[in-house]
Copies of this chain bind each other. A is one copy, B any other.
Amino acid sequence: MSDSGAPMGADTSERDEFRAYCREWLAGNHPGRPPVPLPLSQLLLDDRRAVEWLQGWQKSAYDAGLVGCDYPVAYGGGGRTDCQVIANEEMHAAKTPYLVNIVGMGMAGPTILFHGNEDVKRELLPPLLSAEHIWCQGFSEPGAGSDLANQQTFARRDGDHWIINGHKVWTSLAHFADWMILLCRTDKGDKYGGLSYFVVPIKAALGNGVTVRPLIKMTGETGFNEVLFDDLVVSDRYRLGAVGEGWKVAMTTLTHERGAAALVNPAAGGMPLEEEGGVRTSSVASLIELARSEPRGVGTAADDATIRDELIQLRIREEAQRQSARRGRVPALTDHPARLPLQAKLVGSELTQDIGALSYQIEGMRSTLHVTDERAPAGGLYPLAYMNSFGGTIAAGTSEIQRNILGERVLGLPKSK
C-alpha cells in the first residue's frame, strides 16, 4: 500500500520528477543482503559489522540525494521541499534497509537545524546526514525516566567550557556513536528552567571523561548502554539554545521523535527483516504462519476459533496502524494535526507486545523453550520478542506518558501532575 500524501495544493510536478529519479536510482543501487541479520530496529543494533554496512548504505543514499532532501544545501541537504517523504516511499517500495543514523536524523538533526549556530550546523549536519557520524541520545537517567525534567547530570561553567558529571542510561547505539545530544542541569534551583542542551563528541572523549557500559536486559541480552561522565570538558560552542533553555530545545527533539513535527525522518526502510532465523516477530502474517505450524488439540493453533479471532483482531489493528499513518498525511481527514502522529509509537509498541503475548497461547508448552533450544518454535524468537517489547512500551515515553500527552495535547484535558 502506498504511503505518500502530498499536502493539498503542493507543487506536484517537481515531486513527481523527484519520485521518478529516486525509483530509477534505487533500481540500480540496492545494497543487497546485510552481512549479518538486522534487528527489528536500529536502536537494537549490537554488531559492528551490521553498523558499518548500514553506514555504507546511508552514505551512498545520501550521496545520491535521497537522504536529507529537505535540509538546506548549505548544511549538506538537498534544499528541496516535502521530498523526503517521497524518497522514503521509494526506499520503502524498493525494500532497501533502514538508515542507521536514526537518532541523528530523527532527533539531533532537526534540533541542530533549529537551535544550533551557523558554525555548528555547517560542521555537524553533513556528516550526520551521511552517517559518517553516528548519533546517540542522552536524556534518560536513573532518576529521570518518565519525568524527563528531573535531570541530575550537571554541567558547570568554566570560562568558555563546561565541565560535565553524571550518569545516563538506556542510550541506544552509544557504543557505536560519535556524538550525543545531551540534556544537563545547569541550575539546581529551577527544575525546568535549570536545564541546558549540548551536543557532545563522546567517541573522542572515551576514556577521557566518558565511559560507555552495556546494560543487561531481562532477556540477558545487551544492546542498551549506560554512559558515565566524569569531568568531561565540552566547548560552549556545542551548547544548543541559551543557558536555561534546555527544556525548550528538548521539546523540539521530542516533537520530531514523535513524528509530530516539520522534518520527516528518512530512517525507515522497506527491507523485510529476517532477524535471526527468518522470522519477523512483529508481523501478524508471521504469527499466523506460526499458528498454522503449531499443533493444538486435534489440529493446529490456526484451527482454534478463539485464537483465530485474536489473530484477526491483531491483523485489523496492524492494518489500522498502516492506514492511520496514511491518513495522517491527508489534512482534510484529520481534525487535529498532531492527533495521528502522536498515536503512532503507542499503538505500534502495544501491537508488537500483544503479538508477543498471543504467541504463548499459540505455542503452548513449547513457549517455555529458550532461543538456545533447537526444538523451540520459530527459534524461540517469540518469547524473546515479547520480553523485548517492553522496551517499546517503556522507552522514549512510556505508554502511560503517551496517553497523558494525547489526552492533554489532543483532547485538551488538564495535566495529570
Chain A residues packing against B (C-beta within 8 Å): 304-306, 309
In whole angstroms, how far apart are the Cα atoms of A305 and B304 in the complex?
Answer: 9
Copies of this chain present: 2
Taking the nearest CB of chain B, how far is it from the CB of A243, in angstroms?
35
In whole angstroms, how far apart are the Cα atoms of A306 and B309 in the complex?
Answer: 7
* Chain B residues near A306 (CB-CB < 8 A): 305-306, 309
Closest to A309 in B: B306
* Chain B residues near A305 (CB-CB < 8 A): 304-306
In whole angstroms, how far apart are the Cα atoms of A309 and B307 in the complex?
Answer: 11
Taking the nearest CB of chain B, how far is it from the CB of A302, in angstroms?
13
* Chain B residues near A309 (CB-CB < 8 A): 306
A-B contact pairs, 5 of them (CB 8 A): A304-B305, A305-B305, A305-B306, A306-B306, A306-B309
* Chain B residues near A304 (CB-CB < 8 A): 305
Taking the nearest CB of chain B, how far is it from the CB of A314, in angstroms?
15
In whole angstroms, how far apart are the Cα atoms of A51 and B274 in the complex?
Answer: 71
Closest to A305 in B: B305
In whole angstroms, how far apart are the Cα atoms of A201 and B309 in the complex?
Answer: 58
Taking the nearest CB of chain B, how far is it from the CB of A414, in angstroms?
14
Taking the nearest CB of chain B, how far is it from the CB of A80, in angstroms?
50
Closest to A306 in B: B309
Shortest Cβ-Cβ A-B pairs, 3 listed:
A305-B305, A306-B309, A306-B306
In whole angstroms, how far apart are the Cα atoms of A355 and B319 in the complex?
Answer: 30
In whole angstroms, how far apart are the Cα atoms of A48 and B309 in the complex?
Answer: 49
In whole angstroms, how far apart are the Cα atoms of A52 and B354 in the complex?
Answer: 55
In whole angstroms, how far apart are the Cα atoms of A309 and B306 in the complex?
Answer: 7
Taking the nearest CB of chain B, how far is it from the CB of A378, in angstroms?
25
Taking the nearest CB of chain B, how far is it from the CB of A416, in angstroms?
9
Taking the nearest CB of chain B, how far is it from the CB of A306, in angstroms?
5
Closest to A310 in B: B306
In whole angstroms, how far apart are the Cα atoms of A306 and B304 in the complex?
Answer: 10
In whole angstroms, how far apart are the Cα atoms of A305 and B297 in the complex?
Answer: 15
Closest to A304 in B: B305
In whole angstroms, how far apart are the Cα atoms of A355 and B305 in the complex?
Answer: 21
In whole angstroms, how far apart are the Cα atoms of A304 and B304 in the complex?
Answer: 12
In whole angstroms, how far apart are the Cα atoms of A304 and B306 in the complex?
Answer: 10
In whole angstroms, how far apart are the Cα atoms of A63 and B306 in the complex?
Answer: 55
In whole angstroms, how far apart are the Cα atoms of A303 and B304 in the complex?
Answer: 14
Taking the nearest CB of chain B, how far is it from the CB of A362, in angstroms?
16
In whole angstroms, how far apart are the Cα atoms of A305 and B305 in the complex?
Answer: 6
Taking the nearest CB of chain B, how far is it from the CB of A307, in angstroms?
10
In whole angstroms, how far apart are the Cα atoms of A193 and B306 in the complex?
Answer: 55
In whole angstroms, how far apart are the Cα atoms of A373 and B306 in the complex?
Answer: 34
Taking the nearest CB of chain B, how far is it from the CB of A398, in angstroms?
18
Taking the nearest CB of chain B, how far is it from the CB of A296, in angstroms?
13
In whole angstroms, how far apart are the Cα atoms of A64 and B366 in the complex?
Answer: 62
In whole angstroms, how far apart are the Cα atoms of A105 and B185 in the complex?
Answer: 61
In whole angstroms, how far apart are the Cα atoms of A306 and B308 in the complex?
Answer: 9
